[in-house]
Amino acid sequence: MPYLSRRHALITAAAIAAIAPNVRAADSKRTLGKNGPEVSGVGLGTNNFGMRLDAAGAKTVVHAAVDNGITLFDTANVYGRGASEEMLGAALGARRSKVLIATKFGGPMNEGKFPEGGGSRGAVIEATEASLRRLKTDVIDVQQYHRPDGKTPMDETLEALDSLVKQGKVRYIGHSNFDGALAHECDKIAADNGLTHYVSAQNHYSLLTRDIEADLVPACEDLGLGVLPYFPLESGMLTGKYKRDEKPAEGTRLAAWSKMAPQVADQFMNDQIFAKVEKLTSLAEQSGATLLDFAFGWLLSRPYIASVIAGATKPSQIESNVKSALWRPSPDIAAEIDRITKAA
């Protein structure tokens, strides 16, 4: 790793401090793709609601997010079997008009006429109506197809979503866990049939998981879709709170996964990942930044990123996330980050 002089580190830190107010103002006006709404650079993911957070905890986090300028709240019908949507809707209350709600359909809810979910016309409409009720709202700002079901023709799903947009129940539509080819296919279907186009793509993307750069990102740039990264902190690995050869602290996500699904925890905590995290941490320290700065600032320096979806269980995490979103890498730091994160 090349040595970064103290002078370089101080210059970097000073530059960040000087531009921070302007960066925050710019971040508040990011757009969700070329045709979507304005969104905050940091979005709040709510998959903890109904799982690790109860209603009171969710309300505290939601209000802290709004107070810190976050305008995009991401949820899904399957999070907490509907509890996440219910808690989000209740927590927002009168502040609903100040934010955008993005939810998802397609996952199995084991209820109604379409218990397995999916993208059929009936399943899309049933899921959307149920989400509207749980969220206590009359419109969903961004309705996202959580994951393609592998059997429903994409034109059927798009026609159902288009009908919901025309009824005023959905404002914009997005997809999640699609690849580049499917994104292009859906755009062509929408263009050929005069249907509503997707405006966003939500996929796993971070300093440590960059697979989508080879396929989905070029498609999003071609089509004008805004990318919404989920797991930007790799379940906490990019916060620095997990150490090699140490068990995850009780109450953390990876501690829970280590007990319930060790194979999932191993995807985040392994020697290869720890080696990269340790190198990134050292580089951050040399440059006067933090690992969290790297996680948010690196993503937000990429023009196709609309908003970084990150969960939180307490207000202090939201404050740290918003602060780190102001940081941007210099060309030299960005090149070194690439060298570390692209290594096998």
pLDDT digits (tens, 9 = 90+) for 57-113: 999 999 999 999 999 999 999 999 999 999 999 999 999 999 999 999 999 999 999
Q: Is 130 in contact with 82 (CB distance < 8 Å)? A: yes
pLDDT of residue 22: 38
CA atoms within 13 A on the CB side of 146: 23
Whether 306 maps to a domain, the answer reads yes
Residue 11 pLDDT > 90? no
CA atoms within 13 A on the CB side of 95: 18
Show the domain range for 256.
Answer: 6-341
pLDDT of residue 262: 59
Mean pLDDT of 100-129: 97
d(CA 56, CA 244): 34
Confirm whether 79 is a catalytic residue: yes
Q: What's the distance, CA 148 to chain centroid?
A: 18
Condensed to tens digits (0 to 9), the pLDDT of residues 256-273 reads: 555 565 566 566 767 899
Rounded to 5 degrees, φ, ψ at 72 are -110, 120
Whether 59 maps to a domain, the answer reads yes
Whether 156 maps to a domain, the answer reads yes
Whether 13 maps to a domain, the answer reads yes
CATH number, domain of 129, equals: 3.20.20.100
Using DSSP, state whether 250 is helix, strand or coil: coil
Rounded to 5 degrees, φ, ψ at 42 are -115, 130
Mean pLDDT (the chain, rounded)? 90
Whether 1 maps to a domain, the answer reads no
Whether 309 maps to a domain, the answer reads yes
pLDDT of residue 6: 38
Condensed to tens digits (0 to 9), the pLDDT of residues 293-315 reads: 999 999 999 999 999 999 999 99
Whether 253 maps to a domain, the answer reads yes
Condensed to tens digits (0 to 9), the pLDDT of residues 185-199 reads: 999 999 999 999 999
Identified catalytic residue from 79, 145, 198, 230: 79
Instruction: With cut-offs at 50, 70 and 90, classify the pLDDT of residue 248.
Output: low
Question: Facing residues of 79 across strands?
Answer: none
* Encoded tokens for 143: 């309705």
pLDDT of residue 48: 95
* Encoded tokens for 10: 């101080």
pLDDT of residue 235: 86
pLDDT of residue 243: 78
Whether 65 maps to a domain, the answer reads yes
The structural domain count of the chain equals 1
Q: What percent of the chain has pLDDT over 70?
A: 85
